[in-house]
């Protein structure tokens, strides 16, 4: 759950970075709305961590700052590219959450419910980005995003 929490911290940064530089006002509002929805996920993860007697990653400020910079940088390229990063990010997050569900014990119904709802909403965010005109990212960018996510999830698990 610490890894999911770190991901939600990063989601805040990513969406807020995109919103900060969006060229189209409605695009900025859409990004801020998604960030607000991600706040629910963050709250669920924080609550579940407390219930499990665990702490969030001590690197949360790093996750936020890095994601904000990525969001702002992709947003500066243009709104459609920004949407492309959102679409790909949400696809990768949904895949991660699906794999997490497969590893969670069947008896941990509370965590399973939280992760399932988060996954479903992340998939919707990706669908919304695509419908709004997301540009498909080049394969090397998608691979770099996966590698970055692996580093983050592996580190957040322990620190």
DSSP state of 136: P
Dist CA 72 CA 54 (whole Å): 31
What domains are defined for the chain? 2-154 (1.20.1260.10)
Dist CA 114 CA 68 (whole Å): 25
Read off the pLDDT band of 111 (50, 70, 90).
very high
Find, among 99, 88, 87, the residue nearest to 148 by Cα.
88
Tracing tokens 């965010």 back to the chain, one arrives at 125
Whole-structure pTM value = 0.88
Dist CA 152 CA 9 (whole Å): 11
Read off the pLDDT of residues 14-38 as tens digits, 9 standing for 90 and up: 888 988 888 888 877 777 777 788 8
If you average pLDDT over every residue of the chain, what do you get? 91
Read off the pLDDT of residues 113-125 as tens digits, 9 standing for 90 and up: 999 999 999 999 9
Read off the pLDDT band of 143 (50, 70, 90).
very high
């Amino acid at each position: 759950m610490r890894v999911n929490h770190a991901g939600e911290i990063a989601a805040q940064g990513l969406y807020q970075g995109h919103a900060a530089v969006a060229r189209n006002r409605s695009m900025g509002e859409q990004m801020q709305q998604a960030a607000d929805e991600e706040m629910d996920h963050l709250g669920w993860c924080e609550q579940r961590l407390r219930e499990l007697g665990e702490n969030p990653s001590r690197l949360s400020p790093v996750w936020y700052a890095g994601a904000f910079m990525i969001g702002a940088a992709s947003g500066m390229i243009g709104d459609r590219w920004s949407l492309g990063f959102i679409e790909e990010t949400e696809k990768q997050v949904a895949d991660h959450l699906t794999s997490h569900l497969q590893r969670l014990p069947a008896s941990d119904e509370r965590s399973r419910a939280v992760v399932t709802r988060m996954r479903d909403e992340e998939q919707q965010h990706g669908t919304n980005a695509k419908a709004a005109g997301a540009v498909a990212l080049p394969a090397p960018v998608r691979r770099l995003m996966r590698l970055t996510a692996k580093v983050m999830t592996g580190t957040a698990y322990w620190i």
